[in-house]
């Protein structure tokens, strides 16, 4: 793991906004150092254009909508949803080069996703799976935070939940999180970290949830299953059940007596040093209680505010010590694999060196790169010396 400037693949779907943010007004967003303007056409379909007029580069987000077209706020050039200029002031002949870039857009899981790379590769099937955010069997809500840090630091944070013990001790953390063993796995596009904590005292947040929803007080079995999908989406299966009630995988995995949630996170690189952190908390209990949805959203927002303070302080320290390299512990296994998957995506997009020779496997050039298609499973304990 290193601390050089942030890098990110362009051939990926990134959340640009919650669907409710995009309407009949112009919304400016920056994604992967590219400035975009988003809006909703009269049909309800979202569109995304380069946020710079072809004529004098004024941000189109400073203009206005006219039907499905964007009118530049400087000299009135008009652009359709494909980015083509359809009208110029004081002339009938249109310059054929008068256009701005349009971006592939998909709406799914309550987010508007944008593809900043090669549009020919923009496969909607590659949108990250966050279906809990709109599944009628789950209820929840979330927010977006603009964090002053490299987006990969947020991924690191989510892949290693031992920090809950020390950063979130008043809500979701206790000593059991840092002491429990975990299993780390990885594949071609995914990395997971699974942790079970058996017969423990529930931290304040979960003690309150299972008491209010199930009327239970006492020791619990707790789970955290963190699933990273490259390059920047993390879905975390979390919850507690009465100890010994059958929730443990070896006991059948029956969670029906407990409370289960999903912490949904997708982190969009904005610039090299900032990111747009979209999150939601979905639950499968007390589905009709809108007041609880609001309370949970605000409570989780407070928890993430604690993370934001840590991450921004960490980024500041990194900027002040650009030559410092990170040191890794066993607890960093999931974060390390997430970064490797990101690096592979970036490397895949990089043009080959002019004099590059076919890579050798093994031999004098060093060990062969592990085949990412093979699934690796590592079981670790935080106290294990690696």
What are the structural domain ranges in the chain? 14-126, 131-320
The CB density around residue 61, as the number of other CB atoms within 10 Å, is 21
Tell me the pLDDT tens digit for each residue of 3-14: 455 589 999 999
pLDDT cut 70: percent of the chain above it: 90
- Give residue 36's pLDDT: 99
What's the whole-model pTM score? 0.89
- Give residue 360's pLDDT: 55
Asked if residue 368 has pLDDT above 60, the reply is no
Asked if 103 contacts 115 with a C-beta cutoff of 8 angstroms, the reply is yes
Tell me the pLDDT tens digit for each residue of 19-43: 999 999 999 999 999 999 999 999 9
Tell me the pLDDT tens digit for each residue of 215-266: 999 999 999 999 999 999 999 999 999 999 999 999 999 999 999 999 999 9
Pick the CATH number of 14-126 from 3.50.50.60, 2.102.10.10, 3.40.50.2300, 3.40.50.1110: 2.102.10.10
> Binning pLDDT at 50, 70 and 90, where does residue 354 land?
confident
Tell me the pLDDT tens digit for each residue of 264-320: 999 999 999 999 999 999 999 999 999 999 999 999 999 999 999 999 999 999 999
Tell me the pLDDT tens digit for each residue of 77-129: 999 999 999 999 988 899 999 999 999 999 999 999 999 999 999 999 999 99
Contacts of 326 (CB under 8 A, 6+ apart): 1, 2, 3
- Give residue 374's pLDDT: 42
Average pLDDT, the chain: 91
Distance CA 303, CA 151 (A): 18
> Binning pLDDT at 50, 70 and 90, where does residue 174 land?
confident
Mean pLDDT score, 138-147: 98
Asked if 160 contacts 332 with a C-beta cutoff of 8 angstroms, the reply is yes
**Contacts of the segment 67-74: beta carbons below 8 A, 24+ positions apart:** 67/42, 68/41, 68/42, 68/43, 70/26, 70/37, 70/39
- Give residue 352's pLDDT: 77
| The CATH number of domain 131-320 is 3.30.565.10 | no
């Amino acid at each position: 793991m290193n601390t050089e400037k942030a890098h990110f693949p362009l051939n990926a779907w990134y959340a640009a906004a919650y669907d409710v943010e995009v309407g009949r007004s112009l919304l400016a967003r920056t994604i992967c150092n590219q400035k975009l303007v988003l809006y909703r056409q009269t049909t309800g379909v979202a569109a995304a254009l380069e946020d710079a007029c072809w004529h004098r580069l004024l941000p189109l987000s400073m203009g206005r909508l006219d039907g499905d077209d964007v009118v530049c706020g400087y000299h009135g050039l008009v652009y359709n949803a494909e980015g083509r200029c359809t009208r110029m002031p004081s002339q009938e002949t249109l310059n054929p080069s008068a256009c701005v870039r349009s971006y592939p857009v998909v709406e799914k899981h309550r987010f508007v996703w944008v593809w900043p790379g090669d549009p020919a590769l923009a496969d909607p099937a590659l949108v990250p799976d966050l279906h809990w955010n709109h599944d009628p069997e789950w209820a929840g809500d979330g927010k977006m935070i603009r964090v002053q840090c490299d987006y990969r630091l947020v991924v690191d944070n989510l892949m290693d939940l031992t920090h809950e013990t020390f950063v979130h001790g008043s809500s979701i953390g206790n000593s059991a999180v840092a002491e429990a063993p975990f299993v780390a796995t990885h594949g071609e596009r995914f990395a997971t970290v699974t942790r079970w904590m058996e017969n423990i005292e529930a931290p304040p947040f979960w003690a309150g949830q299972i008491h209010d929803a199930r009327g239970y007080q006492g020791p619990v079995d707790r789970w955290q299953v963190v699933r990273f999908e490259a390059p920047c989406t993390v879905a975390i299966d979390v919850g507690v059940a009465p100890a010994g009630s059958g929730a443990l995988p070896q006991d059948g995995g029956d969670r029906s007596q407990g409370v289960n949630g999903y912490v949904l996170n997708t982190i969009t690189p904005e610039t090299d040093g900032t990111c747009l952190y979209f999150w939601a908390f979905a639950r499968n209990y007390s589905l009709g209680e809108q007041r609880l949805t609001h309370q949970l959203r605000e409570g989780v927002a407070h928890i993430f505010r604690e993370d934001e303070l840590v991450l921004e302080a960490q980024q500041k320290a990194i900027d002040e010590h650009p030559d410092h390299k990170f040191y890794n512990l066993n607890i960093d296994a999931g974060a390390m694999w997430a970064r490797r998957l990101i690096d592979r995506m970036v490397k895949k997009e990089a043009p080959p060196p002019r004099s590059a020779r076919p890579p050798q496997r093994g031999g004098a050039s060093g060990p062969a790169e592990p085949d990412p298609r093979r699934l690796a499973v590592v079981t670790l304990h935080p106290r294990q010396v690696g």
